[in-house]
């Protein structure tokens, strides 16, 4: 146990983030892959495996099992643009794929991430003392200052008693990656000036679709409307590019005081 704890403390921050974030997801690595995952595996093998490896753990191209972009993806919304546009500066050519193929490849990569992390899953009752290494006062200062957390959250509002309502492991997972679903909403402005708002269902280079307030599915051509997307998790994703390991430990220590 001492060796496992020492190993966990020594993990690179990026890997530690992925481990904790996926710890809150259902474990389905042992279940039979869905039809979408199977189809995604075939598409991946034919188009991506020669660079990223048959198991997506890397080769000439980077490891996608530990990719932050894949972890942030919802239904191909992050993976799709990379596939369609490529990354010429890094030697990746653009690939012409349908929306269905992209969604299936995304399903396969999400399955591989959960499958790869299942064996490294931390127990739900992992001792708080091994996680509580930060400074609560510094975490509070970060919450109210550089982290800009207070712009969306309140210790007496949505975060009141958050440390009582969640286990330490769940709390840290929520802090780093608050939910894997796509929570984006969209406002579509028609040529008449009328606006339609609702949860975003799909957005690509040509169309946008949503469910309106009455529950009806609506789809529009992008060249005929104006579109404004609101992503409540955008600030969290942007913060991951700036937050330091010390910031994470300090912020977690502060949240643990909100009993």
For residue 240, being part of any structural domain is answered with no
Provide the domain limits for residue 108: 28-118
For residue 218, being part of any structural domain is answered with yes
Tell me the two tokens of residue 249.
């430990």
Interval 2-15 mean pLDDT? 38
Residues 6+ apart with CB under 8 A from 6: none
DSSP secondary structure letters along 202-258: EE-SSEEEEE-TTS-EEEEEGGGSEEEEE-TTHHHHHHTTT--HHHHHHHHHHHTT-
For residue 43, being part of any structural domain is answered with yes
User: For the chain, how long is the longest CA-to-CA vector?
Assistant: 66
Interval 67-77 mean pLDDT? 90
Predicted pLDDT of residue 28: 43
Model confidence at 95: pLDDT above 90: yes
Predicted pLDDT of residue 131: 80
Model confidence at 123: pLDDT above 70: no
pLDDT digits (tens, 9 = 90+) for 10-53: 333 443 444 444 443 444 444 678 999 999 999 999 999 989 99
pLDDT digits (tens, 9 = 90+) for 160-200: 999 999 888 888 888 877 765 567 899 999 999 999 999 99
pLDDT digits (tens, 9 = 90+) for 228-244: 998 888 788 778 778 88
Interval 91-108 mean pLDDT? 93
- As a whole number of Å, the end-to-end CA separation of the chain is 29
Site of tokens 């975490």: 139
For residue 13, being part of any structural domain is answered with no
In the chain, the percentage of residues whose pLDDT exceeds 90 is 49
For residue 102, being part of any structural domain is answered with yes
Mean predicted lDDT score pLDDT of the chain: 83
CATH of the domain at 222: 2.30.30
For residue 201, being part of any structural domain is answered with yes
For residue 200, being part of any structural domain is answered with yes
pLDDT digits (tens, 9 = 90+) for 215-226: 999 999 999 999
84, 103, 118 — which closes off a domain?
A: 118
Predicted pLDDT of residue 3: 36
CATH of the domain at 53: 1.10.760.10
Q: How many domains does the chain have?
A: 2
Question: Is 154 buried (19+), middle (13-18) or exposed (0-12) by CB count in 10 A?
Answer: exposed
For residue 62, being part of any structural domain is answered with yes
């Amino acid at each position: 146990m001492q060796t496992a704890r020492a190993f966990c403390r020594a993990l690179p921050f990026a890997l530690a983030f992925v481990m904790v974030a996926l710890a809150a997801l259902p474990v389905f690595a042992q279940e039979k892959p869905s039809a979408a995952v199977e189809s995604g595996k075939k598409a991946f093998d034919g188009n991506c495996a020669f660079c990223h490896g048959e198991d997506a753990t890397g080769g000439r191209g980077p490891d996608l099992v530990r990719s932050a972009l894949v972890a942030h993806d919802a239904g191909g919304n992050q993976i799709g643009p990379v596939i369609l546009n490529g990354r010429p500066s890094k030697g990746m050519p653009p690939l012409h794929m349908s929306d269905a193929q992209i969604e299936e490849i995304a399903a396969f990569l999400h399955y591989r991430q959960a499958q790869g992390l299942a064996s490294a899953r931390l127990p739900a009752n992992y001792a708080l003392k091994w996680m509580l290494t930060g400074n609560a006062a510094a975490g509070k200062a970060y919450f109210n200052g550089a982290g800009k957390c207070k712009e969306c959250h309140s210790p007496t509002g949505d975060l009141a008693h958050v440390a009582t309502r969640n286990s330490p492991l769940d709390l840290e997972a929520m802090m780093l990656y608050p939910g894997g679903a796509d929570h984006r909403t969209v406002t579509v402005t028609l040529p008449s000036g009328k606006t339609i708002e609702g949860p975003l269902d799909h957005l690509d280079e040509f169309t946008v679709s949503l469910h309106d307030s009455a529950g009806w599915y609506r789809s529009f051509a992008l060249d005929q409307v104006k579109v404004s997307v609101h992503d409540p998790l955008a600030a969290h994703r942007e913060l991951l590019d700036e937050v330091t390991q010390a910031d994470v430990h300090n912020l977690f220590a502060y949240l643990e005081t909100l009993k």
